Amino acid sequence: MQLIDTHVMMESLSLQDLEAMSASGVKALIADAAGGMDYATSAQASINYFEHTLVGETKRASDYFIDVYVILGINMMAIPADYEKILDALPEYLKREKVVGVGEIGMEPKSGTCPDLSKQEEILKAELRMAKEHNKAAVLHLPSAERTGWIERYIKLIDDAGLDRGKAIIVHSDASTTKIITEAGCMAGLSVLPMRRITPEDAAKIVAENDMNRILVSSDNRIRHRSDPLSVPRIAVQMRRLGLSEADVEKVLFDNPNKVFNLGI
């Protein structure tokens, strides 16, 4: 069995974590080079972090036979004053081998660096247009309050950018929002995190009750919150416990991300 963890911040994964993931069947990771930043000193700091993820982290994981693919952009929690320099650099980054999307991007009223939602929307629009131009996926952050309203707002922005809804992954979905997202034709991302109150059992249950063709799962492994690098293998176990087939496990935990991020593995 091969698995893909669709959202991790690489700096949170120790060599022991990578070894345990590899031993548990994790074949590839989608590394978030935007969400890894919880501060925003400058555009250059963000760009340095893109490079570090693309070069250093792919090499570190390859020692454990794990392929790292990268999403990048401007995370709404970490918008530096000179963010336009990142927007200018993004088209070149989207051409880089291993870059499979923009993300984690989106809007968040609680952003400490840029609470101005109209500015956040302007940045998001530019990034969605770039995803469309470069035929890449877009990973969008769903705020924790007024979730239905945010989903509607995102879908409008996705459509306005001309991006295929099937290339848009709305993450931090839960039992109440997954159906809304998948019925709209977007991909719902389940982040297994105590802070999101989603366990591997919850994720397996949500998968079983919804359109399995439109769900991705991740550990959302990060330094700032408690997380578990083995969340995705644990979801596989829970899916089997619910009586789902190996084909279903493979579809959700491998085929879906392979397809939406166009990994070709």
As measured in angstroms, the least distance from the Cβ of 242 to Zn ion is 27
Is residue 214 part of the contact set for Zn ion (CB under 5 A)? no
As measured in angstroms, the least distance from the Cβ of 104 to Zn ion is 5
As measured in angstroms, the least distance from the Cβ of 49 to Zn ion is 17
Q: Which one of the spans 43-51, 133-141, 146-154, 198-206 is the region binding Zn ion (CB under 5 A)?
A: 133-141
Is residue 196 part of the contact set for Zn ion (CB under 5 A)? no
Question: What binding mask, one character per residue, do residues 88-127 give for Zn ion by CB under 5 A, x or -?
Answer: ----------------------------------------
| Residue closer to Zn ion (CB basis): 121 or 250 | 121
| Residue closer to Zn ion (CB basis): 35 or 239 | 35
Task: Quickly list DSSP for the chain.
Answer: --EEEEEE-GGG--HHHHHHHHHTTEEEEEEETTTT-S--S-HHHHHHHHHIIIIIIHHHHHTTT-EEEEEES--TT---TTTHHHHHHHHHHHTSTTEEEEEEEE--TT-SS---HHHHHHHHHHHHHHHHHTT-EEEEEPPSSSHHHHHHHHHHHHHHHT--GGGEEEES--TTTHHHHHHTTPEEEEE--GGGT--HHHHHHHHHHS-GGGEEEE--B-SSS---TTHHHHHHHHHHHTT--HHHHHIIIIIHHHHHTT---
As measured in angstroms, the least distance from the Cβ of 4 to Zn ion is 19
Q: What is the largest CA-CA distance in the chain?
A: 51
Given a contact cutoff of 8 angstroms between Cβ atoms, the answer to whether 196 and 216 are in contact is: no
Q: Which one of the spans 83-91, 134-142, 203-211, 221-229 is the region binding Zn ion (CB under 5 A)?
A: 134-142
Is residue 141 part of the contact set for Zn ion (CB under 5 A)? yes
As measured in angstroms, the least distance from the Cβ of 208 to Zn ion is 24
Q: Which one of the spans 88-96, 125-133, 138-146, 196-204 is the region binding Zn ion (CB under 5 A)?
A: 138-146
Count of residues interacting with Zn ion (CB under 5 A): 1
- In the bound state, the residue with its beta carbon closest to Zn ion is 141
Question: What binding mask, one character per residue, do residues 156-175 give for Zn ion by CB under 5 A, x or -?
Answer: --------------------
Which positions touch Zn ion (CB under 5 A)? Answer: 141
